[in-house]
Amino acid sequence: MKPARFAYERPGDLSALLARLATAEGSVKLMAGGQSLGPMLNLRLVEPDLVLDITGIPELRRASVEGETLVLGACITHADIEDGRVPDLTGGVMARVAMAIAYRPVRNRGTIGGSLVHADPAADWVTSLIALGAEVELASTSGRRRLALEDFVTGALDVALAPGEMLVAVRISALPPGTAWGYVKHCSKIGEFAHAIGAVRIEPHAGRGRVVIGAIERAPLVIPDASDLFGGRIGPDFAERFDARAADARLREAGMTDAVDRYVHVTVLGRAIAQAAAAPPSLTPTVSEAA
């Protein structure tokens, strides 16, 4: 339960970090809070030659609002979001996701950027931020680019980072007024990785709905236009119109062969939809099991 040897560096600014990342030989892992990488190091599932600690870089620990977009540096922690130390344009949706991630000591160091790059299919941010339509900002010595999060997460623990590239920020657009949001995960023990996640973002008056099904041990299943899950039309009565069989068919198409697995995921999705219908649109549902 002790990591294999690695060298450790902690650059103080972003350009130094990117330069080091571009030239370092051997296997290099970036580390933010270390709450995902740490266990893998301790278990020797990962044995990097060099760990680059990115938490000393001021730019990565900033949060700002650019127009209608919230920009969170990669090293913003779950607890920062939970406690409201960063601005919020989602009516409390992100705080509610954050406060149910793992445990408080983990949330005090675990970061939003680290969670997305680790891309565990059962992680909360992977599914919830895809449902929110978030973008990631990537940087390397040759420049920056932005990518929709759903294109960034390419598979279980797999992301579209090029060699020498890192995630520097997450960009989350404001939820339009009147948006209904539901996010439900199923865990058999509080704080463990979810066995099923349903995230729904519905604009009943615009007739639009986006559904994401997560914790399916591959990249989340994204349904950008979910109207066929609601009998072909999304309206204020969307919760009554939810068609569980259509959702089941989507999961079957996505390759989920086990009927019990599909049932659990469809049930959790149904609860997320019910939650979206019950909560006043874009108001903060603060009730949470987590503390």
Residues in region 74-133 near other proteins by CB under 8 A: 75-77, 79-80, 83-86, 101-106, 108-111, 118-119, 121
192 counts as binding other proteins under rule CB under 8 A:
yes
Q: Which stretch binds other proteins (CB under 8 A): 35-43, 178-186, 229-237, 266-274?
A: 35-43
Q: Which stretch binds other proteins (CB under 8 A): 47-55, 142-150, 196-204, 265-273?
A: 47-55
What single DSSP character describes residue 60? Answer: G
> What does DSSP say about strands 180-186 and 196-203: parallel, antiparallel, or unpaired?
antiparallel
Separation of alpha carbons 174 and 151, rounded Å? 20
Separation of alpha carbons 99 and 94, rounded Å? 9
Closer by beta carbon to other proteins, 190 or else 278? 190
In the complex, the smallest distance separating the C-beta of residue 117 from other proteins, rounded to whole angstroms, is 9
> Which of positions 150-179 make contact with other proteins (CB under 8 A)?
155-158
Site track for other proteins across 249-288, x = CB under 8 A: ------x---------------------------------
Q: Contact with other proteins (CB under 8 A): which of 56, 207, 231, 235?
A: 56
Q: Which stretch binds other proteins (CB under 8 A): 38-46, 135-143, 201-209, 226-234?
A: 38-46
288: CB partners within 8 A, 6+ apart: 96, 99, 100
Closer by beta carbon to other proteins, 46 or else 249? 46
Task: Select from 89, 87, 93 the least CA-distant residue to 73.
Answer: 87
Separation of alpha carbons 162 and 154, rounded Å? 12
Site size toward other proteins, by CB under 8 A: 88
Q: Which stretch binds other proteins (CB under 8 A): 19-27, 173-181, 204-212, 242-250?
A: 19-27
Closer by beta carbon to other proteins, 213 or else 234? 213
If one counts every other C-beta atom within 10 angstroms of the C-beta of residue 160, the result is 14
CB 173 within 8 A of CB 69: yes
Torsion of CA 87, 93, 94, 99, to 10 degrees: 120
> Which of positions 215-234 make contact with other proteins (CB under 8 A)?
216-218
47 counts as binding other proteins under rule CB under 8 A:
yes
Separation of alpha carbons 68 and 263, rounded Å? 38
62 counts as binding other proteins under rule CB under 8 A:
yes
Task: Select from 122, 129, 260, 125 the least CA-distant residue to 192.
Answer: 122
24 counts as binding other proteins under rule CB under 8 A:
yes
